[in-house]
Amino acid sequence: MAYVYKVYLLPTADTTLIPFFAGKFASLRLSALTVSAPAFSSTFEIESAFTASDWIAHLQRPSVHYIIAVAYASYTKPEQQKIDTGDWIGSATLIGPFTKEAYELPESDGPEVRGDDVETRWQMTAVFNTPLHRGRGIAKMLINGALEFAAAESGNGRESRTRIIIHPRNIVVKKLYEGLGFVDAGKCTLAEAYRSNGDAALLPLDGGASDPEKYLARFGTVMEKVNSPAR
Ligand SMILES: CC(C)(COP(=O)(O)OP(=O)(O)OC[C@H]1O[C@@H](n2cnc3c(N)ncnc32)[C@H](O)[C@@H]1OP(=O)(O)O)[C@@H](O)C(=O)NCCC(=O)NCCS
């Protein structure tokens, strides 16, 4: 079957449709946590216990933005291609903007982090595309959608800086980001990755001190891209 693909910023303030969106998002996310478990820090065990209202609250967290990829049958009329039709097949989460202090990681090796007058700062996480639709440019569309949103939100002629943290063994993903202009920006710990990705709740109460090899060793690959101001 032939498909048409589109990406959207999820309108989380839409009070009428948010329960429907939450159901669709939950289904996509639980599928991601099943088929690509090693790529994510959260787990199916944790998120399959979320209730309907948990999912709605999750989507409406402040400063968290979702880019959703939707597949339509190729004969779907353009006016019928909307976020509440079609099949949700992929997503990327963008968190921000961060203050300079909240954003900076110790031992970062990326482009120098600058002041609020010059740039805005964002963290991208949970990039996923359903296996059936892989290799068709969907991840590129999701990531570019997130970068465009960050650039548009920056205003005032500011640059937008976007960071991603990946598992060092995820070579496919590293190539994907390199192809989109991301550069190496050092290594981070799992504890830092959890905090930056909005998953601090997954950390043990001691911040990981009881298992330093797991939480405090610098093994995550950090990549960044600084985009010019939107015109
Ligand atoms: C990684 C993932 C998002 C890629 O999705 P996708 O829609 O297939 O990616 P795209 O078709 O947009 O591919 C973009 C680029 O990624 C690279 N790439 C993607 N899949 C690849 C593969 N299986 N082998 C080699 N390179 C690959 C290529 O460089 C490709 O560029 P090209 O088309 O110019 O060759 C998808 O495989 C996935 O969901 N994986 C599991 C979750 C995951 O690892 N997420 C990343 C967390 S940081």
At 81-131, the pLDDT tens digits run 999 999 999 999 999 999 999 999 988 888 899 999 999 999 999 999 999
Q: Tell me, in angstroms, the distance from the centre of ligand 1 to residue 91's CA.
A: 13
pLDDT band (50, 70, 90) for residue 231: low
pLDDT band at 155; cut points 50, 70, 90: confident
Q: What is the mean pLDDT of residues 123-149?
A: 98
In this structure, which residue's CA is closest to atom 8 in ligand 1?
A: 134
Query: How many angstroms separate the alpha carbon of residue 161 from the centre of ligand 1?
Result: 22
Across the chain, mean pLDDT equals 95
Residue closest by Cα to atom 40 of ligand 1: 128
C-alpha 172 – ligand 1 centre gap (Å): 6
Q: How confident is the model at residue 156 (pLDDT cuts 50, 70, 90)?
A: confident
Cis (ω within 30 of 0) for the bond into 38?
no
Containing H/E element for 206? none
Phi, psi of 70 (to 5 degrees): -120, 135
Cα-to-centroid distance, 156 and ligand 1 (Å): 33
Q: Cα of 61 to ligand 1 centre, how many Å?
A: 27
CA distance 143 to 23: 23
* Spatial CA neighbour of 89 closest among 133, 58, 146: 133
Atom of ligand 1 nearest to the CA of 138: 7
Q: Which pLDDT does position 184 carry in this prediction?
A: 95
Q: Structural domains in the chain?
A: 3-227 (3.40.630.30)
Percent of the chain with pLDDT over 90: 89
Ligand 1, residue 125: give the atom nearest the CA.
48
Ligand 1 proximal residues by C-beta, below 6 Å: 36, 39, 127-129, 134-140, 164, 166, 170, 172-173, 175-176, 179
Give yes or no for a contact between 91 and 142, defined as CB atoms under 8 angstroms apart. yes
